[in-house]
């Protein structure tokens, strides 16, 4: 079992890595669906050599239900990237990353519904505060046009899919080593995204060299490094603690977007985002008290 300091340090590194996702997506210069596809496809290729030898023994230890959950996890991850990456083309980086960070709300709801885990009053209060913040951001975008509202909706849908993905990961990661879990999940996500691209008639071949470089960076930094570290942590840390730590992503992404794209957040985003991050911090603080990070020894 890694020490508590090591686990928290890993959470920080993972959060910094995923903070670059929205920036790299915007810099790719390709459509959202091809960008999402190559993010997962290239990540799968990078992980293939170390992961493939581990797959056979890992799958032998799984029941059929767990294998089906693994497949479903990959499909859900693909859907998450399809809708969230698309949201970045309709709303601002700050709005998209803040709204998709509401995923702990959905993780907590699933833990309460399916695992019968009791939600503390403080966590419920934190969720309510975060939802009020979400409403303020979306309300502030009404004056900016339907595209912004559509982008906000896609970001929230991305949060729902991410919550499902993390919830499933909590069930499977204790039974599988990290590579045996993330490689098939990323591969299934890539296949899901490929099918969506083909169905939509997207161009997935003809891109300039600069775009391919950013595709590769997107696969390495926020995916192979960031998301893979989050999946590794799921063996030792509760799913909604991991999901809550991802709240650092919108802060980092918003700051980076100011420098790269001159996207300065409006008042609705500042107020709503502050409420969302504050509300889910309340959840994190309660989680830290009730679910010690070393509880899975």
Domain boundaries, the chain: 4-290
In this prediction, residue 239 has a pLDDT band, given cuts at 50, 70 and 90, of low
Cβ contacts of residue 202 below 8 Å, gap of 6+? 31, 33, 34
Cα separation, 202 vs 200, whole angstroms: 6
Mean pLDDT of 236-262: 76
In this prediction, residue 294 has a pLDDT band, given cuts at 50, 70 and 90, of very low
116: region left, alpha or beta (phi > 0 left; psi from -120 to 50 alpha): left
Q: For CA atoms 274, 280, 284, 290, give the dihedral sign.
A: positive
**Each residue's pLDDT tens digit, 75-114:** 999 999 999 999 999 988 888 888 888 887 888 888 888 8
Mean pLDDT of 236-250: 69
Contact, 265 vs 273, CB < 8 A?
Answer: yes
**Each residue's pLDDT tens digit, 162-197:** 999 988 987 887 788 888 999 999 999 999 999 999
């Amino acid at each position: 079992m890694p020490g508590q300091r090591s686990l928290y340090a890993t959470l920080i590194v993972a959060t910094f890595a995923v903070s670059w996702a929205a920036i790299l997506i915007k810099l790719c210069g390709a459509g959202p669906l091809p960008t999402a596809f190559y993010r997962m496809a290239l990540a799968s290729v990078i992980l293939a050599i170390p992961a493939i030898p581990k797959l056979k023994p890992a799958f032998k230890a799984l029941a059929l239900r767990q294998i089906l959950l693994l497949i479903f996890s990959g499909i859900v991850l693909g859907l998450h990237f399809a809708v969230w990456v698309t949201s970045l083309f309709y709303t601002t980086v700050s709005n998209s990353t803040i709204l998709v960070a509401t995923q702990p709300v959905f993780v907590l709801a699933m833990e309460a519904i399916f695992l019968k885990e009791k939600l503390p009053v403080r966590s419920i209060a934190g969720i309510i505060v975060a939802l009020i913040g979400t409403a303020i951001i979306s309300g502030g975008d009404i004056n900016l046009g339907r595209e912004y509202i559509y982008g906000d909706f896609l970001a929230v849908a991305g949060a729902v899919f991410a919550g499902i993905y993390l919830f499933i990961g909590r069930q499977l990661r204790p039974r599988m080593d990290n590579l045996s879990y993330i490689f098939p999940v990323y591969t299934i996500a890539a296949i899901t995204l490929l099918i969506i691209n083909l169905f939509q008639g997207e161009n997935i071949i003809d891109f300039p060299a600069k775009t391919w470089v950013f595709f590769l960076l997107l696969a390495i930094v926020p995916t192979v490094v960031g998301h893979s570290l989050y999946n590794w942590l799921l063996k030792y840390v509760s799913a909604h603690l991991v999901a809550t730590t991802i709240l650092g992503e919108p802060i980092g992404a918003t700051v980076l977007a100011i420098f790269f794209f001159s996207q300065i957040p409006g008042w609705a985003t500042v107020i709503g985002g502050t409420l969302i991050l504050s509300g889910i911090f309340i959840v994190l603080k309660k989680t830290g008290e009730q679910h010690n990070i070393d509880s899975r020894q």
